[in-house]
């Protein structure tokens, strides 16, 4: 039985197969409409979510399966003190696969070690968000045409941003990617990620001002300053509007630059940018459904039956 805890759990050739499947699902949705007939997905979300939970649920329904679960810890028996280990043992009796989001780093890993069904890490604290990374890689592959030879700027909360940490690790396996980290000092990329970049001989630079580098980016990956990860409100208020991507800033970006964001956004991308053809974040959210359909099929080892 296979779980997904980190994007590195798949080899790059397995990722290629997953993305090829996601692309085929996008082109031929009817072909996949009954692949999960009779199967159930449990979504166990101890933290808020719109995209991840609902795209998992949409993915399972698109495959003909059913969904059950909870969307906050307070409506589950976690509120009565039940451990994640006990919860997953019980859910293993009810469902065929589980997507779990938890504020504690490593909680989905603990669940996987006690589970009778595949567990997918749907985001654990400030640690990893592998299915967002799968979504991001598919978006880059589809819209930029390749997963190598580009300059990517990651902007905003690089300290607590689990989507950024997961994406960097995944991109380090591809060739000739230059990383530009754009953050205030307080939210700079953690040292352990920098160590990984150095180990892999990846090129990178750290800057504070987006204006100084926007013209050289092939991909701009914006992130939200996350109120829920701050220890005090004062620091959050001081940093929350540090970056706002505007039409004027986009005028300096390459014509081919794609703008990504895992969403939700607060105000780090001005809504006027949404009409720019380079704004790709809503398309990115759509790709999240196809890649999660492909992931469910892969972990459940399901294939389309020949007609």
Residues that bind ligand CP (CB under 6 A): 49-52, 123, 132, 262-264
What is the C-alpha to C-alpha distance for residues 172 and 167, in angstroms, rounded to an integer? 9
Between 17 and 54, CB nearer to ligand CP: 54
Closest contact distance (angstroms) between CB of 134 and ligand CP is 12
What is the C-alpha to C-alpha distance for residues 121 and 127, in angstroms, rounded to an integer? 10
Closest contact distance (angstroms) between CB of 227 and ligand CP is 13
Burial 86-101 (b: 16+ CB within 10 A, else e): ebbeebbeebbbbbbb
Closest contact distance (angstroms) between CB of 276 and ligand CP is 20
Helical segments of 93-225, H only = 107-114, 130-144, 162-171, 191-199
Dihedral sign from CA coordinates of 164, 170, 173, 177: negative
Q: Is 30 helix (H, G, I), strand (E, B) or coil?
A: helix
Between 178 and 283, CB nearer to ligand CP: 283
Closest contact distance (angstroms) between CB of 243 and ligand CP is 18
CA max distance for the chain: 61
Q: For tokens 């081919």, what's the residue? A: 256
Between 134 and 263, CB nearer to ligand CP: 263
Between 92 and 132, CB nearer to ligand CP: 132
**Residues whose CB falls within 8 Å of the CB of residue 301, separated by 6 or more in sequence, listed in order:** none
Closest contact distance (angstroms) between CB of 144 and ligand CP is 19
Between 12 and 48, CB nearer to ligand CP: 48
Task: Give the pair of three-digit tokens for residue 178.
Answer: 């230059």
Between 131 and 151, CB nearer to ligand CP: 131
Helical segments of 200-265, H only = 233-239, 247-250
Closest contact distance (angstroms) between CB of 177 and ligand CP is 22
């Amino acid at each position: 039985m296979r779980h997904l805890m980190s994007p590195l759990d798949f080899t790059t050739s397995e990722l290629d197969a997953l993305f090829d499947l996601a692309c085929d699902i996008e082109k031929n949705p009817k072909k996949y409409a009954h692949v999960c007939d009779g199967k159930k997905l449990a979504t166990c979300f101890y933290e808020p979510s719109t995209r991840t939970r609902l795209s998992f649920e949409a993915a399972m329904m698109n495959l003909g399966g059913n969904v059950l679960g909870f969307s906050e810890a307070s409506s589950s028996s976690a509120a009565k003190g039940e451990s994640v280990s006990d919860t997953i043992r019980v859910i293993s009796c009810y469902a065929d696969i589980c997507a779990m989001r938890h504020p504690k780093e490593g909680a989905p890993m603990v669940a996987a070690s006690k589970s009778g069904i595949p567990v997918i890490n749907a985001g654990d604290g400030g640690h990893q968000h592998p299915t967002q990374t799968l979504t991001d890689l598919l978006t880059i592959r589809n819209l930029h045409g390749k997963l190598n030879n580009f300059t990517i700027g990651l902007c905003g909360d690089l300290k607590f941003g689990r989507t950024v940490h997961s994406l960097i690790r995944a991109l380090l396996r591809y060739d000739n990617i230059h990383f530009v980290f754009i953050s205030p000092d307080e939210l700079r990329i953690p040292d352990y990620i920098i160590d990984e970049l150095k180990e892999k001989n990846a090129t990178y630079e750290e800057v504070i001002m987006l204006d100084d580098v926007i013209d050289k980016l092939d991909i701009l990956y914006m992130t939200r300053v996350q109120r829920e990860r701050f220890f005090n409100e004062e620091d959050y208020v001081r940093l929350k509007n540090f970056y706002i991507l505007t039409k004027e800033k986009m005028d300096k970006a390459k014509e081919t630059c794609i703008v990504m964001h895992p969403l939700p956004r607060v105000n780090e991308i001005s809504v006027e940018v949404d009409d720019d053809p380079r704004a790709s974040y809503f398309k990115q959210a759509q790709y999240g459904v196809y890649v999660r359909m492909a992931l469910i099929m892969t972990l459940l080892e399901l294939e389309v039956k020949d007609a």
